Amino acid sequence: MPEGPNGRTFYQRVVQATPGGKSLAQCLQCGSCGGSCPSGPDMDHSPRQLFAMIMAGMEDEVLSSNTPWHCVSCYYCTVRCPQQIPITDLMYTLKQMAIARGKYRESGHVDFSNSFIGMVERFGRSFELGLATRYHLTHNPLKMVSKGTLGLQMMVKGRLSPLPESIRNMPQLTAILTEAKRIAAQQEV
Ligand code: SF4
Ligand code: SF4
């Protein structure tokens, strides 16, 4: 199996970079994770397939997959996994590794992720209207009409803001994000 930094296999690096990651070895390939996932239809590989690929040392294929980038961190798979595997956290590890190896561009979905991060860094929160518009324009423009009607109804009821709104204490959040980036830069994945 190909080895990476410090002579560790891809599987070992994924496990060591994820809290509770050792339990990945207990995966039963039962498919409950993929069956629970709201983003499943958009993913190249189900979480179950991705884990089998990690065990097979398919580093390039795994880090180029769009699967982690479609994960919306709902944790539904994690609470349903019979082996208590930290599936959502594994998705974060894979995203981190894909960025570190420059593989994220091949997944084709990092722009969406960057848009979200840019909004959080600028306003302290997501701007749903801007994010949803960008997502549907680039991924599913045919759905724009039906989603646009829903968006208008939500705006009328005050559930969707037409403009981005900033949180009150942005300097405090900026300091937290700066420290988080400093810590992340020190971690080897
Ligand atoms: S639900 Fe858990 S045990 Fe089942 S395939 Fe997914 S990760 Fe493996
Ligand atoms: S946490 Fe991610 S992978 Fe798990 S069910 Fe939710 S979207 Fe799917």
Domains plus CATH for the chain? 5-104 (1.10.1060.10), 110-182 (no CATH)
Q: Please list, in sequence order, all residues whose beta carbon lies within 8 angstroms of the beta carbon of residue 125, skipping any fewer than 6 positions away.
A: 119, 165, 166, 167
The Cβ-side half-sphere exposure at 15, using a 13 Å CA radius, reads 15
pLDDT at 80: 96
pLDDT of the residue at 5 = 58
Instruction: Tell me the per-residue pLDDT of 120-160, one tens digit each, with 9 for 90 and over.
Output: 999 999 888 888 787 777 666 777 777 778 888 888 888 88
Band (178; pLDDT cuts 50, 70, 90):
very high
Handedness of CA 28, 31, 33, 36 (dihedral sign): negative
- Residue 3's pLDDT is 59
Atom of ligand 2 lying closest to residue 74 CA: 6
Q: Which atom of ligand 2 is nearest to the CA of 40?
A: 8
67 lines ligand 2 (CB under 6 A): no
Residue scoring higher pLDDT (51 or 143)? 51
- Greater model confidence, 101 or 111: 101
Cα 48 to Cα 46: distance, rounded to the nearest angstrom: 5
Nearest alpha carbon to residue 14 among 104, 92, 109: 92
Tell me how far the alpha carbon of residue 44 lies from the centroid of ligand 1, in angstroms.
Answer: 17
- How far, in Å, CA of 62 to CA of 125, rounded? 30
pLDDT at 114: 76
The percentage of the chain sitting over the pLDDT mark of 70, rounded to a whole number, equals 90
Q: What is the pLDDT of residue 171?
A: 95
pLDDT at 104 over 80: no
Ligand in closest contact with the CA of 37: 2
Q: Which two tokens stand for residue 162?
A: 């037409």
Give the Å distance between the CA of 75 and the centre of ligand 2: 6
Check residue 38 and give its pLDDT.
Answer: 92
CB under 8 Å, gap of 24 or more: what pairs does 36-45 form?
36/76, 36/77, 36/80, 37/71, 37/76, 37/77, 38/72, 38/74, 38/76, 39/70, 39/71, 39/72, 42/66, 42/70, 42/139, 43/67, 43/70
pLDDT at 6 over 90: no
Q: 142: buried, middle or exposed (CB in 10 Å: 19+, 13-18, 0-12)?
A: exposed
Ligand 1 pocket member 85 (CB < 6 A): yes
For residue range 63-101, list pLDDT tens digits in order. Answer: 999 999 889 899 999 999 999 999 999 999 999 999 888
Ligand 1, atom 8, residue with closest C-alpha:
27
Ligand 2 atom 6 nearest Cα: 74
Residue 22 is classified by DSSP as G
Q: What's the pLDDT score for residue 34? A: 95
- pTM, rounded to two decimals: 0.74
